């Protein structure tokens, strides 16, 4: 089983379809006010070795997508393939490790025992001590699972996900309950593990997590994918840049008329130009107004990109799941 898995993975590095492939996925489930169309036809292909963030507000369909990817729920339509296999087979072969959004630990075992118990279920697990080492739990190994801090619990859950030595690691909002320090620690452990050539898919609604930990971001809203690309490209695609300069005595409307500028504001001596093409704008500005100084150009944040693409703030509203009349 193991050699086969390795062969699959080797093939996958040459041919991207050997990774994760979600094709035409559709899923509805019953809600209190009629059916909720959680996922409405998504196409995703993730190559082996990629680290991908699944980004979207609550109710965008991220967890539903992950459930189907892991074989926890059956899609109403479409197919899931993990390293060329159906999810259940990939899970049984120990190719997939996952940290679900909710999930406590069972009590009355030590951390080492719990990780060992999980390891015992798999055909070719990682050494338990290694899993503890990777997650920084060596010193915590002897502690009972119900006596851990939030950060420690999350690291144990991470150890449980990787102890099968998976090729694909799936994390559903792994840092949601952690403080800043806990998050930083968690992601540094995750990146270290991903660096072993693992494929990683993580869901998050923290934009900065996607920005700093993923090569690629898939943005979901209302059960659909609204953008998919390298995080930098997504920012560049929709993120306007802001050009600030000190430039007194120039009329606002003539600034707004500069090439590449979408809007201009003035605050005293400072002008703020919102640019679609900042390269063009800066050239034109300096040509026409050589007196401009203290020039500063800042990139748009992923947050801005996200707002622009999904057309709504990252809100928890119950309406997020409902069909929106006339959208897309």
Partner 1 sequence: MNGIAYTRYELLRTFRNRRFFLFSLGFPLIFFWLIAAPQHNKVISGTGLTYATYYMVSLASFGTMMSMISTGARIAGERQAGWTRQLRISPLSVRAYFRAKVLTAYAMALSSLLLLYISGSLLGVSLSAGRWLAMTGLIMVGLLPFAALGILVGHLVNTDSVGPLMGGLVSILAFLGGAWFAITSGFLHAFGQFLPSWWLVQARNVALDGHAWGARGWITVAAWTAILAAGAAWAYRRDTARV
Q: How far is the CB of 190 from partner 1 (least distance, A)?
A: 18
Q: What is the largest CA-CA distance in the chain?
A: 75
Candidates 299, 266, 271; CA nearest to 285 is 271
Comparing CB distances to partner 1, the nearer of 153 and 281 is: 153
Structure tokens at 105: 């630990």
Q: How far is the CB of 52 from partner 1 (least distance, A)?
A: 19
- What secondary structure letter does DSSP report for 301? P
Q: How far is the CB of 177 from partner 1 (least distance, A)?
A: 13
Comparing CB distances to partner 1, the nearer of 75 and 260 is: 75
Comparing CB distances to partner 1, the nearer of 122 and 206 is: 122
Distance, in Å, from the CA atom of 50 to the CA atom of 139, rounded to the nearest integer, reads 31
Comparing CB distances to partner 1, the nearer of 93 and 258 is: 93
Contact 100, 44 (CB under 8 A): no
Q: How far is the CB of 70 from partner 1 (least distance, A)?
A: 5
| CA–centroid distance for 28 within its chain | 22
Residues at the site binding partner 1, with contacts judged by CB under 8 A: 29, 63, 67, 70-73, 91-94, 96, 98, 100, 102-109, 113, 116-118, 120-123, 160, 164
- Show the DSSP H helices in the chain as ranges: 2-14, 62-69, 87-92, 111-119, 128-134, 150-162, 180-194, 207-213, 231-238, 252-256, 278-288, 302-310
Comparing CB distances to partner 1, the nearer of 157 and 240 is: 157
Comparing CB distances to partner 1, the nearer of 116 and 223 is: 116
- What secondary structure letter does DSSP report for 164? T
Q: How far is the CB of 312 from partner 1 (least distance, A)?
A: 25
Q: How far is the CB of 254 from partner 1 (least distance, A)?
A: 58
């Amino acid at each position: 089983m193991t050699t086969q898995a390795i062969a699959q993975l080797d093939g996958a590095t040459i041919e991207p379809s050997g990774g994760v492939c979600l094709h035409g996925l559709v899923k509805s489930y019953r809600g209190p006010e009629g059916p909720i169309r959680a996922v409405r036809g998504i196409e995703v292909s993730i190559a082996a070795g990629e680290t991908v963030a699944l980004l979207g507000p609550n109710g965008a369909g991220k967890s539903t997508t992950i459930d189907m990817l892991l074989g926890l729920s059956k899609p109403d339509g479409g197919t899931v393939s993990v390293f060329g296999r159906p999810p259940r087979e990939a899970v049984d072969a120990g190719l997939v490790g996952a940290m679900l959004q909710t999930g406590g630990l069972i009590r009355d075992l030590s951390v080492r025992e719990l990780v060992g118990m999980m390891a015992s279920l798999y055909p070719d697990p990682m050494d338990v001590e290694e899993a503890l080492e990777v997650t920084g739990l060596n010193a915590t190994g002897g502690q009972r699972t119900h006596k851990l801090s939030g950060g420690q619990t999350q690291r144990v859950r991470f150890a449980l996900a990787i102890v099968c030595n998976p090729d694909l690691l799936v994390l559903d909002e792994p840092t949601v309950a952690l403080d800043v320090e806990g998050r930083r620690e968690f992601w540094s452990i995750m990146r270290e593990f991903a660096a072993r050539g693992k494929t990683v898919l993580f869901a998050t609604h923290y934009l900065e997590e996607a920005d700093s930990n993923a090569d690629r971001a898939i943005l979901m809203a209302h059960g659909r994918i609204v953008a998919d690309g390298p995080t930098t490209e997504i920012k560049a695609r929709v993120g306007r840049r802001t050009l600030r300069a000190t430039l007194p005595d120039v009329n606002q409307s003539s600034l707004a008329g500069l090439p590449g500028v979408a809007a201009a504001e003035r605050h005293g001596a400072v002008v703020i130009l919102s640019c679609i093409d900042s390269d063009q704008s800066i050239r034109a500005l300096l040509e026409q107004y050589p007196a401009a100084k203290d020039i500063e150009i800042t990139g748009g944040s992923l947050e801005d990109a996200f707002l622009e693409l999904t057309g709504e703030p990252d809100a928890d509203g119950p309406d997020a799941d409902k069909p929106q009349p006339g959208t897309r």
